[in-house]
Amino acid sequence: MSASAALLLPLLLLDHSDDGGGPSDNRLQDDYTAAAAEYHVPRSVLMGVSYLQSRWDSHPGVASVVGGYGPMHLVDSAGPPPEQPRHHVTPRPQTLTPSPAASHGTASRNTGGQADLRRAAGLLKLPPERLQKDDAANVRGGAALLAATQRGLGKPLSADPAQWWEAVAKFAGTTDSAQAEAYANDVFDVIRKGADRVTDAGQHVILAASPQVRPHPATAQGAQRSKNTECPPELNCSWLSAPYVRINEDAYGNHDLANRPKDQRIEYIVIHDTEAPLASMLATIQDPEEASWHYSIRSSDGHVTQHVKTKDAAWHSGNQFVNGRSIGIEHEGFLRQPDAWYTEQMYRSSARLVKYLAKRYSIPLDRWHIFGHDNVPSPTEGSIPDMHDDPGPFWDWRHYFDLLGAPLKATAGPDSDVVMILPDYAKHKPVFTGCSEKGATCAPHGSSAVRLYTEPSEDAPLIQDPGRRPDGDDATVDVDDLASRVSTGQSFAVAERRGDWTAIWFQGHKAWFKNPKKQPTAVGARGHMITPKAGRSEIQVYGRALPEESAYPDGVDEAQETPLPYTIKAGQRYVTGARVFGSYVDRSSFPDVPAPVIKGQEPYYEIQLDHRLAYVRASDVDVISTPGAAGAPAHAGPTPQR
């Protein structure tokens, strides 16, 4: 078996959408059957390719970033690109032009790929606009292209899926043999395991498993890559370096030299989206006065570009403590336009990369260690309003963890003292505003986010975040407003239950969310919780774990420890995912070698305080474990090293 096949990513195979077995509308299922019969393509091959192209979603009439349409994601190279959001998006500087070396990393329109919409329209003798808007025509176009490719290879229109492997590899539209092989093997993994889901249009689609179908033996010599890149073997990775230069006597940019994991363990991977086209980001990464990150992933095909070695610390999260322990990955896209930018190929490339990095650095595959920029703790009270909100409520965390091979699922009964947020992404469609213009209601869309209220009623006020809105303004349902929501995979201690409503401890208060038995938005979980020690009325919460004063060597000023504007009161509980030790790196100089990491001996617990993580002193709390929870909270690195 090839290296690509050995690292194939599991799918969420069963995604039934309601108690009755899903919607009765199976038109798309019938479209696949009819098109496969018309063009003599095995239905499993046609459906497997479509799953990789779009997960069977149609996004009716809406183009992806490369001009792709419909369930087959057929690319109209002559069509206009999708509009970008026009409001309250922080633009990335474009003061630099990407170098020729970076051109392979920019988003490009597919003009010669196999999934060509106009070629498909010609084969069907239909106007291209029909394939953009009509799912049945789009599926027929995909079948016609696969059949034409098979004939072009001199192969018969066989009923045996195994005979179509090369045609599937060509459908990817890439000239890189290893990337094409990975694409085809992913398609055949879908065919082998089967899939069952409800699409964005409410179509229930089922592909029965074919266990006898296997990935193709390796033929490629390995992905084309720069020698500098750190990537799994089946990913096509390139290198575009972020500069490490002095800007003036008082500043340098745009990352820190380090010697990780020898001087500090890498324990987090932070998922970002760019909120800008990738070309702009590739200019930004070359500007020493801007931020930095380790990897960029292109939307159109999942191409990976590395910018900073993983041993070094990039400036990507807004929290130096997290930067020192993490790897940052930017995904090309806008959180308000998930259908245009959050492609299946990008999800899969990202998951392959994260799985590789997690194995290399022993990072647990859970939401304590793999989290979004919107989950990064604010280092200080003053920084809270400026913290970012990407990748946003439409990033499909449930699907992403399925691809990582670490599916999010219940680990305890429904009455457990701990719950994991886990809505059905396709069916869970909370109201948001601000996707197209400020205040305008967004189109209904599946979401990973669950909204919180002050009382068990959707008519009650939303939970308020005094740190995010120090002036007392109310929380809103704007797509950028994190104040009153939590996200898939996050775990919280239960404070109370009333009928279909569950309350969790959140920023020192009870926060209620709707959690009906017929369509739960959270499941029971095992775990460890912290609570203030007996006799303590409340304890402070921190956005970083800093060393104690005695840990600082002579000549290094102690970092100022400032608590966040939240407290945990007696009797409240918060779930903890790890026990960590304080660390700090002095960035006051421009060293030509890694600056020493100052390591404390006082332990902290990492907790889920609200939509972001936080830290509490171990000396302030007791640990309570739910029945069946394994061991004690894990140490993030051995004590002598932290």
In a domain, 82, yes or no: no
Work out the average pLDDT over 438-443.
Answer: 95
Instruction: Please tell me the predicted confidence (pLDDT) of residue 81.
Output: 56
pLDDT confidence band for 27 (50 / 70 / 90): very high
Work out the average pLDDT over 538-543.
Answer: 98
Where does residue 508 rank: exposed (0-12), middle (13-18), buried (19+ CB within 10 A)? middle
* 508 lies in the same domain as 603: no
* 495 lies in the same domain as 594: no
* 450 lies in the same domain as 334: no
In a domain, 403, yes or no: no
Work out the average pLDDT over 262-279.
Answer: 96
Residue 394 has pLDDT above 90, yes or no: yes
Q: What is the CATH number of the domain that holds 49?
A: 1.10.530
Residue 8 has pLDDT above 50, yes or no: no
In a domain, 91, yes or no: no
* 239 lies in the same domain as 377: yes
Quote the domain boundaries for residue 542. 529-641
Q: What is the CATH number of the domain that holds 285?
A: 3.40.80.10
Residue 222 has pLDDT above 80, yes or no: no
Q: How do residues 463-522 score in pLDDT, each as one tens digit? A: 999 998 888 788 999 999 999 999 999 999 999 999 999 999 999 999 999 999 999 999
Tell which of 525, 542, 564 closes a domain: 525
Residue 314 has pLDDT above 60, yes or no: yes
Tell which of 508, 525, 542 closes a domain: 525
* 492 lies in the same domain as 383: no
In a domain, 615, yes or no: yes
- Higher pLDDT: 78 or 327? It is 327
Give the C-alpha separation, 579 to 249, whole Å.
Answer: 38
In a domain, 90, yes or no: no
Q: Looking at the DSSP assignment, which residues form a beta bridge with residue 492?
A: 419
Work out the average pLDDT over 522-540.
Answer: 97
Residue 90 has pLDDT above 50, yes or no: no
* 161 lies in the same domain as 260: no
**Terminal alpha carbon distance of the chain:** 41
Residue 343 has pLDDT above 60, yes or no: yes
Number of domains forming the structure of the chain: 4
| % of residues, the chain, pLDDT over 70 | 88
* 418 lies in the same domain as 548: no
* 157 lies in the same domain as 269: no
In a domain, 198, yes or no: yes
CB-CB contact of 96 with 144 (8 Å): no
Mean pLDDT score across all residues of the chain: 88
Q: Give this prediction's pTM.
A: 0.90
The one-letter code for the residue type at 266 is I
Tell which of 494, 525, 556 closes a domain: 525
Give the C-alpha separation, 44 to 54, whole Å.
Answer: 15
Give the C-alpha separation, 329 to 318, whole Å.
Answer: 14
- Return left, alpha or beta for 157; rule: phi > 0 is left, psi -120 to 50 is alpha, else beta: beta
* 138 lies in the same domain as 264: no
Instruction: Please tell me the predicted confidence (pLDDT) of residue 635.
Output: 57
Work out the average pLDDT over 564-569.
Answer: 97
SS3 588: coil
Q: Looking at the DSSP assignment, which residues form a beta bridge with residue 584?
A: 598
* Structural element, H or E, at residue 493: strand 491-498
Q: Is beta strand 304-306 parallel, antiparallel or unpaired with respect to 237-239?
A: parallel
| % of residues, the chain, pLDDT over 90 | 75
pLDDT confidence band for 171 (50 / 70 / 90): very high
In a domain, 317, yes or no: yes
Q: Picking from 170-174, 184-188, 261-265, 463-467, which range would have the lowest pLDDT averaged per residue?
A: 170-174
Residue 451 has pLDDT above 70, yes or no: yes
CB-CB contact of 135 with 58 (8 Å): yes
